[in-house]
Amino acid sequence: MRFLRRTRATSGVNPLAHLSDDELVAEHCKSGANSHFLSEMIRRLMRSNERLSAWLLVFTVAIFLLTAVLVWVSLKPSPTNALGTPWVLWVSWVFPDAPSHLATGTITVGGFTTKDECERARADRSQQQTKQGSVYCLPATIDPREPKGR
């Protein structure tokens, strides 16, 4: 039997390829420390590690690309900035005699693409507004209302 294995080994075919991992370990335990079975176990382990390393590389590259795309999407300018910052017309009021939760407030009245449009609407609205409140234009990125508490 060993003679057949040696002749196959010299012809370039792995004589231990037909053994399962469990059979390989069992044969190694029977034959001693320096055996071909040990070499075959190490070869199989190395091949397994090569495959795992390849998959690890693939997943690392995929995670890198996904991260790059997410960063790019979050940092690219929004379409509103490309067209010009939109402007918002705000109205605030103060009623000293009203209950505390209704005494003051700020709401949006409209949105405009240019500051000039917003200022014209503010001038029209200011003529209608009473002395107890104010009308003003702010860029859409600014919210004059108080921060909401938890």
pLDDT tens readout for residues 90-107: 888 777 776 766 667 788
Mean pLDDT of the chain: 76
Provide the residue count of the chain.
150
Local confidence band at 6 (pLDDT 50, 70, 90 cut-offs): very low
Q: What percent of the chain has pLDDT over 90?
A: 12
Beta-bridge partner residues of 138: 88
Give the start-end residues of each E strand in the chain.
87-94, 104-112, 133-139
Report the greatest alpha carbon distance in the chain.
110
Measured CA to CA, the distance from residue 1 to residue 9 in angstroms comes to: 13
Mean pLDDT of 10-15: 67
Summarize pLDDT for 36-88 with one digit per residue, the tens. 777 787 788 888 888 889 999 999 999 999 999 999 888 876 555 444 568 88
Q: Hey, is 105 helix, strand or coil?
A: strand
Measured CA to CA, the distance from residue 122 to residue 129 in angstroms comes to: 10
Judged against a pLDDT cut of 80, whether residue 123 lies above it is answered with yes
* Backbone region of residue 32 per phi and psi (left: phi > 0; alpha: psi in -120 to 50; beta: other values): left
Judged against a pLDDT cut of 60, whether residue 113 lies above it is answered with yes
Looking at beta carbons, which pairs linking 11-15 to residues 24 or more positions away fall under 8 Å?
Answer: 14/40
DSSP state of 92: E
Local confidence band at 150 (pLDDT 50, 70, 90 cut-offs): low
Identify the pLDDT of residue 88. Answer: 87
| Residue 104 CB-density burial (10 A; 0-12 exposed, 13-18 middle, 19+ buried) | middle
Structure-block tokens of residue 101: 């939760």
